[in-house]
């Protein structure tokens, strides 16, 4: 049973486009929602994270939108660049724990 559902599986955009990756969860106990970025041959690295008490968080060109009532959150990449080409994972955790439950990942390709 996938506790965090992520879509789409892959995404292709042109440079300057705004790719959007969506995630949904069922467990209302989740209270921390990070996004990780992974380049080929590397381990995932934290990109940005949000708590459910805010609806939006921006860090540079990356924005998380959070809809608590719908139990959904999404990642937007403004002015996407070829260097943003990577696999993106949403995740969730709850309580005083670092136990992360990951989505299935989205492979993003940004073409010049």
Partner 1 sequence: NAGVTQTPKFQVLKTGQSMTLQCAQDMNHEYMSWYRQDPGMGLRLIHYSVGAGITDQGEVPNGYNVSRSTTEDFPLRLLSAAPSQTSVYFCASSPLNGRTEAFFGQGTRLTVV
Q: Which stretch binds partner 1 (CB under 8 A): 13-21, 39-47, 64-72, 73-81?
A: 39-47
What per-residue string of b and e applies to 94-109 under the rule 16 or more CB within 10 Å gives b?
Answer: eeeeeeeebbebbebe
CA 99 – CA 36 distance, rounded (Å)? 14
CA 60 – CA 11 distance, rounded (Å)? 21
22 binds partner 1 (CB under 8 A): no
Structure tokens at 25: 């969860």
103 binds partner 1 (CB under 8 A): yes
Closest listed residue to residue 3, CA positions, set 108, 68, 97, 93: 93
Comparing CB distances to partner 1, the nearer of 43 and 112 is: 43
Comparing CB distances to partner 1, the nearer of 28 and 104 is: 104
Q: Which of 45, 56, 60, 79 binds partner 1 (CB under 8 A)?
A: 45
Look at strands 86-92 and 33-38 and give their pairing.
antiparallel
99 binds partner 1 (CB under 8 A): yes
Q: Which stretch binds partner 1 (CB under 8 A): 53-61, 62-70, 72-80, 100-108?
A: 100-108
- The residues that touch partner 1, with contacts defined as CB under 8 A, are 6, 9, 32, 34, 41-46, 49, 51, 89, 93, 95-105
């Amino acid at each position: 049973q996938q506790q965090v559902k992520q879509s789409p599986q892959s995404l292709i955009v042109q440079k300057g486009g705004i790719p959007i990756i969506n995630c949904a969860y069922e467990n209302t106990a989740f209270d921390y929602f990070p996004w990780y970025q992974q380049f080929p041959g590397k381990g995932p690295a934290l990109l940005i994270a949000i708590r459910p008490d805010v609806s939006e968080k921006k860090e540079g060109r990356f924005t998380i939108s959070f809809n608590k009532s719908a139990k959904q959150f999404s990642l937007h990449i403004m002015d996407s660049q070829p260097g943003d080409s990577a696999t993106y994972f949403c995740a969730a955790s709850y309580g005083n724990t670092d136990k992360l439950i990951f989505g299935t990942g989205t492979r993003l390709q940004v073409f010049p």
